[in-house]
Amino acid sequence: NKHWNWKGGITPENKKIRNSYEYNIWRQAVFQRDNFTCQFCGEKEKVSGKLQADHIKPFALFPELRFELSNGRTLCIDCHKTTDTYFWKLNNVNKERGRFLFL
């Protein structure tokens, strides 16, 4: 608690969830269902080791779907970066209202 970056022992909710056992089980289930293969380009993890479990509907906006298998897909890092929701670089955002526009 004497460290300059101490914030009273709080951990952001997002970090807690993404480091949870339930989240890890969800990730592994997505990978297994997709046969450890990128759903966009077909790259296999055994070749690249760069696969990620992507939430189709964003993690932050749809908390009820965070652990829903049907809301996940396996993508390689390069393909994941092309999605509208990757790392908050959103293409479908109404910047004036700060809201997602899902059509």
Confidence of residue 86 (pLDDT cuts 50, 70, 90): confident
- Which of 23-37, 39-53, 71-85 is predicted least confidently? 39-53
Mean pLDDT taken over the chain = 83
Instruction: Kindly state the DSSP code that residue 91 receives in the 8-state scheme.
Output: S
DSSP 8-state class, residue 69: G
State the Cα–Cα distance between residues 41 and 23, nearest whole angstrom: 25
What is the maximal distance between C-alpha atoms in the chain?
49
Mean pLDDT, rounded, for 64-75? 97
pTM of the predicted protein model? 0.74
Tell me the CA end-to-end span of the chain in Å, nearest whole number: 47
pLDDT number for residue 46: 62
